[in-house]
A = this chain, B = another copy of it.
Amino acid sequence: MAEILKGKPIADGISEQIQQRLAELQTKGVQRVSIAAVQVGEDPATEVYVRNQKKQAEKHGIDHQHHHLPPETTQEQLIAFIGKLNTDPSVTGIILQTPLPKHLNTWAAQCSIAFRKDIEGVHPENLGLLVYNRERLAPCTALAAVRMIQSIGVNTVGAETVIVGRSAIVGKPAALLLLERKLSATVTVCHTGTSKAGKLAEHVGRADILIAAMGSPQAVKGEWIKRGAVVIDVGVNQVGDQMVGDVEFEPAAERAAVITPVPGGVGTVTTRLLLYNAVEAAAWQREN
């Protein structure tokens, strides 16, 4: 039976890192770290999410402003609003809450965020820095998956690592992070093309480290898992009144050495890393 790798202790470790970095930054004259969360229109789930974000931020000594723009906000108005936040020195981090109303172009709006204030790590420039092994602000979910792997002290050099899912903010950045010299995993990225070719089970079956990030409930079958593998489940899927991951948990836990639960696994670390990125962003803005 696998060890269940919970997110909370890792998130708590990140909180300590945040406190240390904040203290360090204060000695360098950074007066405050502040997040501006931009929401357009009404969405009850977003409301709850931003409220929790604010509570968490303030608990860590990070300012949090919730900017709520009306649903009829135009693209030009949104870009202009973000532009003001970009140049406001009292704002060190910007989050654009999604989904946006359908008449708005999410991609263009996200790209308009100054990349040094992009604490979600979704700006193309920040993703490009991952390609160069020059990580500054990485996408929080990808980073959370990697931090969980690092937390167990497994040797990643040349480890057979399989990522299922090729999204721009989870699968691909996780692959780039794991290819960095300090981790040096051998990384395979699988996706629907792999399934079509009938090869998904085979790749999962040879993974010493598996990251499941396709967003499909329990699509990775427990019997595919290699005995002794480390299984990081990034999936968050609502099935009926239950939250399940991308991995069939029970049978996978029988084979794996370590497995993350859903909920209480990667997600818990992800939200804490948003605050970590907020601090790193403020530090980055201090450099020349």
- Residue positions of A touching B, CB distance < 8 A: 107, 123-134, 157-160, 166, 168, 172-173, 175-176, 179, 184-199, 203
Contact = CB atoms under 8 A, between A and B. Distances in A.
Nearest to A162: B188
Contacts of A160: 199
Q: Which of A124, A160, A185, A191 has the most CB of B within 10 A?
A: A124
Task: State the oligomeric state as a number of copies.
Answer: 2
Given A157-B193, A187-B188, A127 B132 contact: yes
Contact of A131 (B128, B133, B184, B194): B128
A107 B131 CA distance: 13
Nearest to A158: B197
16 contacts: A123-B128, A124-B125, A124-B129, A124-B131, A124-B134, A126-B128, A159-B197, A166-B179, A172-B179, A184-B191, A185-B193, A186-B188, A186-B190, A186-B197, A187-B188, A187-B189
Contacts of A175: 175, 189
Given A124-B134, A157-B193, A157-B196, 12 more contacts: A107-B132, A124-B129, A127-B128, A127-B132, A131-B168, A158-B197, A179-B191, A184-B196, A185-B193, A186-B197, A187-B188, A187-B189
Contacts of A132: 107, 124, 127, 168
A213 to B, nearest CB: 13
Q: Which of A158, A176, A196, A203 has the most CB of B within 10 A?
A: A158
A189 B179 contact: yes
B172 A131 contact: yes
Contact of A168 (B133, B189, B194, B195): B133
Contact of A188 (B107, B157, B173, B188): B188
Nearest to A173: B131
Nearest to A172: B131
Contacts of A166: 179
Nearest to A129: B124
Given A127-B127, A131-B124, A184 B192 contact: yes
A7 B105 CA distance: 40
A184 B190 CA distance: 9
A280 to B, nearest CB: 17
